[in-house]
Amino acid sequence: MIRAAADKYEFTVELLLAIGSRETNLDPQYQSHPGDFGHGFSMWQIDIRSFAEWIKTGAWRDVGAAVMKAAEILDSKRSAIKSKNFVWSGADVERVTTAAYNCGSGIAVYNFSRYQDPDRATTGHDYSADVLYRRDVFASFLNTTKEQQ
């Protein structure tokens, strides 16, 4: 399921795992109960204030549908960021996109362009840095596991 979402939206499996890890530690209880004081749904904490219609369908309870929606949201953030007239490296786009998943693309772009810190308005002020660290941990683990097979 995660690979299908990653492939469709051209993200890595490790990044989608890392976002789920940051949001809920990939705890399956969030597939049946909201988090974030009733605002976040699924292991990827899709916000009802932004995606109320999708949440109301109940699709968030399905892991495959939830990760696909999370990847779609992340893709929309990346598209919004790329539409700006900034010349950023691929790593910068990835970092700002990841921060935008938490705080929105407008504020992440603003903070990066002004302060070079897209996490300035994110939860804990470290969202993208932490998610990208987790991504690297997942990549190391998954690569090690592949090599052992």
Sequential DSSP letters for 5-72: HHHHHT--HHHHHHHHHHHHTT-GGGGTS-BGGGTEETTTTEETTT-HHHHHTTGGGSHHHHHHHHHH
* Domains (range + CATH), the chain: 2-148 (1.10.530.10)
The pLDDT of residue 8 is above 80: yes
Mean pLDDT taken over the chain:
95
User: What is residue 147's predicted lDDT score, i.e. its pLDDT?
Assistant: 61
- The pTM score is 0.94
Q: pLDDT confidence of 2, banded at 50, 70, 90?
A: very high
